[in-house]
Amino acid sequence: MNDLKFAFRQLLKNPGFTAVAVLTLALGIGANTAMFSLVNGVLLKPLPYPDSDRLVSLSENQREQGQDFVNLTAPGFTDWRTQSTVFEDLAAYQPGGFDLTGTGDPARLSGIRASASLFPLLRVQPELGRGFTESEDTFGGDRVAVIAHRLWQERFEGATDVLGKSVTLDGNSYTIVGVMPDGFRFAGLDADVWRPMAFEPWELENRGGHNYQAIGRLKPGVALAAARAEIEGIAERLSQQFELSRGWSVTMLPLQEQLVRGSERPLYVLFGAVGFVLLIACSNVANLLLARASGRAREFAIRGALGADRFRIVRQLVLESLILAGLGAAVGWLLAHWGLAAVLKLGTVGLPRLENVHLDTQVALFSILVVCIPGEFRRGAERRGARHHGGKRRTNRRKLRGQSTGARAGPAGGSDSHVAELRAHPCLGPGLRSGAHPHRVPVYARLALSGKQFQRTGAVPEGVPRPSG
């Protein structure tokens, strides 16, 4: 506790140094914490669906023509769904927009047409009501809709009797059958309204209309390569059967990989860049600590003369560095919080899955790890400073011994006999008399050679402490 109080006093004695060191560390730690939050939320966290590793995205490609990740056709999706055996199910969806009228002020809503199989495939249930049935997902079926939690709160004030009410979309009346959970997003789309896909007859006949997207859930134990081989075989058969399908094949990727496609490289490059910022910050703080340690040489010398060994001095310095690291981490956490809030508020950075970006437990653990990196830089600087100070002490001690040796070899003569006499003197402890600490003898020998003779009665010259024992 005394060391801790002393460490705080030392830092408060130099507020300029403390402020510069803390702010430098805070910038490095805050930038790394914010970037890791983005990388973790966008790239590393699994999708918020049960068994999300079995979800895949399907699209078409015509690589000979340089086309990849092209939307599907309605008849192609229907053929894949009926002929494949490796999927639990497939679901098609089509993002779009709907004009809402008849409920408050008119508004343009974001919406999605989706197969009835989509919600069961994702293992997601509406908060209120239900999803679509297969009969509703056919042309001419009942006009039903599932609304988002946000729309439920804004337009219907969270009324529990919203189920069964009508909402007018694009001039047509739809019956509300469900309300999705708060914060539910799919494929990076924040939809207000969901409608059944219900392909129209002309859509099912149009093999040239690449207007739809699809996902699938692999059966347990089915490898991605095996599923890809089967679906490519189906596409090859369709290519031979239909003129408009000729040359088209299938691109299948894990759903998470498809959603973040194109974001990995920019995020990792930025993450590496802020890592270098942290290294620069650590280097600057280490140099500051080295300069400060050089200015405290007199303090270290006094503490060493009072009995403090090198370990005690280094321990004190490490404690000061831990306080600096803790303060830098606290300020850096605030900077990361403000930076992420600004990024999420802008919402125009073009990154998917921003709803998963938070300062959570994983980010906190990463911050602790980041704090250890500048801590190692600082401890290394302090150890070098302590070794430099220890080397000065050893040099001074050698000089002192050399002076004592010269005194013994000087004209006073008989110095060795004085040393022997001192070792045999009754006022010295047994360790000095036995020669266990010979490096202390020259000090007393120099006193003897200076004319301050010891008396056989056991008295010691005035000003020289009397050894115990």
- Same domain, residue pair 237 and 269: no
Residue 371 belongs to some domain of the structure: yes
One digit per residue, the tens of pLDDT, for the chain of length 469 reads 677 888 888 888 888 889 999 999 999 999 999 999 999 999 999 999 999 999 999 999 998 888 889 999 999 999 999 999 999 999 999 999 999 988 788 999 999 999 999 999 999 999 999 999 999 999 988 799 999 999 999 999 999 899 999 999 999 999 999 999 998 988 878 899 999 999 999 999 999 999 999 999 999 999 999 999 999 999 999 999 999 889 899 999 999 999 998 888 989 999 999 989 988 988 888 888 888 877 788 887 887 888 877 788 778 888 888 888 889 989 999 999 998 888 887 765 678 888 888 888 888 888 888 777 655 555 554 555 545 444 444 444 444 444 444 444 444 444 454 445 544 544 444 444 444 444 444 444 444 444 444 444 444 455 555 555 4
- Find out whether 405 and 442 touch, Cβ atoms under 8 Å: yes
- Same domain, residue pair 309 and 198: no
The three-class DSSP label of residue 124 is coil
CB atoms within 10 A of CB 82: 9
Residue 66 has φ and ψ, to the nearest 5°, of 75, 25
- Same domain, residue pair 164 and 311: no
- Same domain, residue pair 434 and 297: no
Residue 355 belongs to some domain of the structure: yes
- Same domain, residue pair 87 and 220: yes
Residue 433 belongs to some domain of the structure: yes
**Domain boundary residue among 340, 365, 400?**
400
CA dist., res. 366 & res. 32, Å (int): 9
- Same domain, residue pair 393 and 421: no
Q: Which amino acid is at 35?
A: M
**Domain boundary residue among 400, 421, 441?**
400
- Same domain, residue pair 81 and 132: yes
Pairing of strands 107-114, 87-101: antiparallel
- Same domain, residue pair 392 and 427: no
Instruction: Quote the number of domains for the chain.
Output: 3
- Same domain, residue pair 99 and 237: yes
CA dist., res. 288 & res. 295, Å (int): 11
Residue 257 belongs to some domain of the structure: no
- Burial grade of 216 (CB within 10 A; 0-12, 13-18, 19 or more): buried
What's residue 383's pLDDT?
A: 53
Pairing of strands 193-196, 144-147: antiparallel
Give exposure, 324-333, as e/b (b: 16+ Cβ within 10 Å).
Answer: bbebbbebbb
CA dist., res. 272 & res. 450, Å (int): 67
CA dist., res. 391 & res. 365, Å (int): 39
- Same domain, residue pair 80 and 225: yes
Residue 251 belongs to some domain of the structure: no
What's residue 469's pLDDT?
A: 45
Residue 283 belongs to some domain of the structure: yes
Helix locations, 310-360, DSSP H: 310-346
**Domain boundary residue among 374, 400, 426?**
400
CA dist., res. 107 & res. 100, Å (int): 5
- Same domain, residue pair 348 and 324: yes
Structural domain including 110 reads 74-206+208-241
* Furthest CA-CA distance within the chain: 124
CB atoms within 10 A of CB 14: 13
Residue 447 belongs to some domain of the structure: yes
- Same domain, residue pair 333 and 429: no
End-to-end CA distance of the chain: 33
Here the contacts of 360-367 (C-beta below 8 Å, separation 24 or greater) are 362/40, 363/33, 363/36, 363/37, 363/40, 363/336, 366/32, 366/33, 366/36, 366/40, 367/29, 367/33, 367/329, 367/332, 367/333
The three-class DSSP label of residue 467 is coil
Cα dihedral: 248, 254, 260, 262 (round 10)? -40
Cβ neighbours for 149, distance < 8 A, ≥ 6 positions apart: 127, 179, 180, 181, 182, 183, 184
Give exposure, 341-350, as e/b (b: 16+ Cβ within 10 Å).
Answer: eebbeeeeee
How much is the pTM?
Answer: 0.72
Residue 88 belongs to some domain of the structure: yes
Cβ neighbours for 96, distance < 8 A, ≥ 6 positions apart: 110, 111, 112, 113
N residues, the chain = 469
Check the CA dihedral 150-152-155-158 and report its sign.
negative
The three-class DSSP label of residue 71 is coil
